[in-house]
């Protein structure tokens, strides 16, 4: 594993203050420091300050046309980093104070003036030369590529300030023998559209197959970042806000516990056993899913009823219906809540049917077989009366349900065999006088 650090504007940090900050952070995590001999920190300050230097852009690497699987793996790793950082108290939200509160047009105008002025103040002319000259970008990228080791290697790629823009460009030209296990940009100004006027880095495909993750770290008080992250421009990046008191130094960023922890995670992977669960997750059947959704809807409706008494009666009907549907043989039909029972042609009611009836008049089949209930466990009356002695076993006799006396008299007068439907008038009572069953 090699750490590659790309510096920002200035003299290229010859004292390697960035490495001191990183080792300070690693020590806080109980990890061994990284010796200077194990890192690569190309210094290209002279390229940025010298007129007339240029070279052809290096050949881009090849990304598979279908990188769906690699992109999904990238997103899973990124989500795991987000979860781990969310548990840290030293990682903060964007907050109410910072340069991110400066309106975009005002901020971008100031950045454009600073980059395009050519002033040597704070070495800002180096930024303008790099972003506005493709030959210069080609020369810098070729120089960095020449400093990389031969053979296959895993890399931790870190870009600070302008070095983050160079690192983003470098990803498109890394040979296939390199795998970036962790990509970190700190104090990056790449969230400014001003830096992307002469280039197509925003439209290029991200190399998901060669980069494991991308975390951008910023302090909203860092003027170089403008208080802006990169996720709004580069979809692969995720922004993490830390507090280094509004400063910009690479050593301060890399010495922060959250940043050094991400680097320690790949340099010194844990060998502790991770407990796994032996529980199996079984997919819910379609019938169970329908029942669950129906019950959820019923309880949601009950929660919207303001009258507590009516709401409790409604919940009682839903619980009674749930008891009838818990045997595994009941099938709810989406839309009406009705169900079929194997070997039984009697209609059943569920919580969805109760939801369709006016509140206060709900009835459903309860736990007492053949009874009608309007509260859990309280039977009103049996659906069928006992058959008198001597009656033909094929004749069910007149069906009487409370509230349908008139219908019963009509059926008895016509001498027809009744066919009772739930909750409505006695429709479908057939007789020899009315073949259609209408009366």
Q: Which residue has the tokens 């781990």?
A: 84
pLDDT for position 268: 92
Average pLDDT, the chain: 75
CATH of the domain at 147: 3.40.50
Percent pLDDT > 70 in the chain is 64
Residue 214, phi then psi, degrees to nearest 5:
-145, 120
Identify the DSSP state of 196.
Answer: G
Q: pTM of the full predicted structure?
A: 0.62
Q: Do both 368 and 417 map to the same domain?
A: no
pLDDT for position 359: 44
Query: Is residue 69 situated within a structural domain?
Result: yes
Last residue of a domain, one of 338, 361, 383: 383
Query: Is residue 391 situated within a structural domain?
Result: no
> In which band, very low, low, confident or very high, does the pLDDT at 382 lie, cut at 50, 70 and 90?
very low
Q: Does the pLDDT of residue 423 top 80, yes or no?
A: no
Query: Is residue 21 situated within a structural domain?
Result: yes
Query: Is residue 272 situated within a structural domain?
Result: no
Who has greater pLDDT, 419 or 91? 91
> In which band, very low, low, confident or very high, does the pLDDT at 433 lie, cut at 50, 70 and 90?
very low
Q: Residues with Cβ < 8 Å from 199, sequence gap 6 or more? A: 131, 134, 137, 169
Q: Do both 293 and 345 map to the same domain?
A: yes
Who has greater pLDDT, 238 or 64? 238
> In which band, very low, low, confident or very high, does the pLDDT at 52 lie, cut at 50, 70 and 90?
confident
Domain around 306 = 286-383
> How many domains in the chain?
3
pLDDT for position 430: 46
**CB-count burial class (<10 Å; 0-12, 13-18, 19+) for 150:** exposed
Note the Cα 350 to chain centre separation in Å: 34
CA distances 133 to 7, 139, 190, 241, 313, Å, are: 19, 10, 16, 31, 76
Last residue of a domain, one of 336, 355, 383: 383
Q: Does the pLDDT of residue 384 top 60, yes or no?
A: no
Beta bridge partners of 373: 364, 379
Q: Does the pLDDT of residue 369 top 60, yes or no?
A: no
Buried b (16+ CB within 10 A) or exposed e, 283-306: eeeeeeebbeebbeebbebbeeee
Identify the DSSP state of 213.
Answer: -
CA distances 193 to 114, 133, 189, 224, 236, Å, are: 14, 16, 9, 13, 17
Q: Does the pLDDT of residue 121 top 60, yes or no?
A: no
Distance CA 20, CA 181 (A): 22
Distance CA 315, CA 339 (A): 19
pLDDT for position 323: 61
Three-state DSSP at 215 gives strand
Q: Do both 355 and 298 map to the same domain?
A: yes
Query: Is residue 390 situated within a structural domain?
Result: no
Distance CA 77, CA 71 (A): 10
Who has greater pLDDT, 283 or 346? 283
Three-state DSSP at 183 gives strand
> Would you say the C-alpha torsion 187, 192, 198, 199 has a positive or negative sign?
positive
Answer for the pair 426, 416: CB distance below 8 angstroms, yes or no: no
Percent pLDDT > 90 in the chain is 36
Q: Do both 256 and 291 map to the same domain?
A: no
Query: Is residue 419 situated within a structural domain?
Result: yes
Q: Does the pLDDT of residue 394 top 80, yes or no?
A: no
Q: Does the pLDDT of residue 276 top 60, yes or no?
A: no
pLDDT for position 325: 54
Q: Do both 377 and 245 map to the same domain?
A: no
Q: Do both 60 and 151 map to the same domain?
A: yes
Distance CA 339, CA 109 (A): 67
Q: Tokens standing for 330?
A: 């009941």
Beta bridge partners of 344: 341
pLDDT for position 381: 44
**Each residue of 143-198: pLDDT tens digit?**
999 999 988 899 999 999 999 999 999 999 999 999 999 999 999 998 887 777 66
Q: Do both 155 and 211 map to the same domain?
A: yes
Range of weakest confidence among 26-40, 319-333, 378-392: 378-392
**Each residue of 194-214: pLDDT tens digit?**
777 665 666 678 999 999 999
Distance CA 192, CA 367 (A): 68
DSSP string, 58-90: PPPPP--S--HHHHHHHHHHHHHHHHHHHT-TT
Answer for the pair 352, 294: CB distance below 8 angstroms, yes or no: yes
Answer for the pair 201, 168: CB distance below 8 angstroms, yes or no: yes
Query: Is residue 392 situated within a structural domain?
Result: no
Q: Does the pLDDT of residue 87 top 90, yes or no?
A: no
Q: Does the pLDDT of residue 379 top 50, yes or no?
A: no
Query: Is residue 97 situated within a structural domain?
Result: yes
Of the segments 110-114, 282-286, 419-423, which one has the largest average pLDDT value? Answer: 282-286
Q: Do both 50 and 193 map to the same domain?
A: yes
Answer for the pair 3, 160: CB distance below 8 angstroms, yes or no: no
Last residue of a domain, one of 237, 267, 297: 267
Q: Do both 192 and 227 map to the same domain?
A: yes
Q: Do both 358 and 403 map to the same domain?
A: no
Q: Do both 137 and 194 map to the same domain?
A: yes
Q: Do both 159 and 201 map to the same domain?
A: yes
> Would you say the C-alpha torsion 170, 174, 178, 181 has a positive or negative sign?
positive
């Amino acid at each position: 594993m090699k750490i590659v650090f790309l510096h920002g504007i200035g003299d290229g940090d010859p004292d390697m203050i960035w490495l001191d900050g990183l080792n300070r952070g690693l020590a806080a995590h109980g990890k061994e420091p990284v010796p200077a001999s194990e890192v690569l920190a190309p210094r290209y300050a002279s390229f940025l300050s010298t007129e007339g230097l240029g070279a052809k852009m290096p050949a881009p690497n090849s990304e598979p046309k279908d990188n769906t699987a690699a992109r999904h793996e990238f997103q899973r790793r990124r989500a795991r980093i987000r979860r781990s950082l969310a548990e840290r108290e030293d990682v903060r939200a964007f907050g109410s104070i910072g340069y991110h509160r400066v309106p975009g047009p005002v901020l971008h105008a100031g950045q454009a003036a600073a980059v395009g002025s050519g002033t040597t103040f704070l070495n800002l002319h180096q930024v303008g030369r790099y972003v506005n000259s493709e030959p210069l970008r080609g020369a810098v990228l070729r120089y960095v590529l020449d400093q990389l080791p031969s053979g296959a290697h895993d890399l931790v790629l870190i870009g600070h300030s302008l070095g983050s823009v160079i690192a983003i460009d470098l990803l498109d030209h890394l040979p296939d023998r390199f795998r970036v296990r962790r990509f970190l940009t700190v104090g990056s100004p790449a969230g400014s559209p001003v830096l992307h006027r002469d280039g197509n880095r925003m439209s290029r495909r991200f190399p998901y197959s060669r980069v494991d993750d991308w975390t951008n770290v910023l302090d909203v008080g860092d003027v170089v970042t403008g208080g802006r992250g990169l996720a709004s421009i580069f979809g692969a990046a995720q922004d993490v806000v830390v507090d280094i008191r509004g400063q910009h130094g690479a050593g301060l960023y890399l010495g922060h516990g959250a940043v050094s922890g991400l680097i320690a995670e790949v340099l010194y992977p844990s060998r502790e056993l991770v407990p796994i669960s032996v529980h199996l997750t079984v997919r819910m059947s379609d019938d169970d899913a329908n029942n669950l959704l129906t019950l959820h809807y019923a309880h949601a409706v009950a929660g919207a009823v303001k009258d507590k008494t009516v709401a409790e009666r409604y919940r009682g009907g839903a619980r009674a219906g749930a008891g009838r549907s818990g045997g595994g043989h009941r099938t709810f039909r989406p839309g009406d809540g009705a169900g079929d029972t194997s070997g039984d042609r009697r209609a059943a009611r569920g919580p969805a049917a109760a939801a369709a009836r006016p509140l206060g008049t709900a009835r459903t089949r309860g736990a007492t077989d053949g009874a009608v209930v309007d509260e859990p466990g309280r039977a009103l009356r049996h659906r069928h009366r006992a058959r008198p002695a001597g009656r033909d076993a094929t004749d069910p006799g007149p069906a009487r349900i409370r509230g349908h006396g008139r219908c019963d008299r009509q059926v008895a007068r016509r001498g027809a065999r009744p066919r009772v439907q739930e909750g409505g008038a006695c429709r479908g009572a057939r007789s020899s006088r009315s073949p259609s069953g209408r009366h």
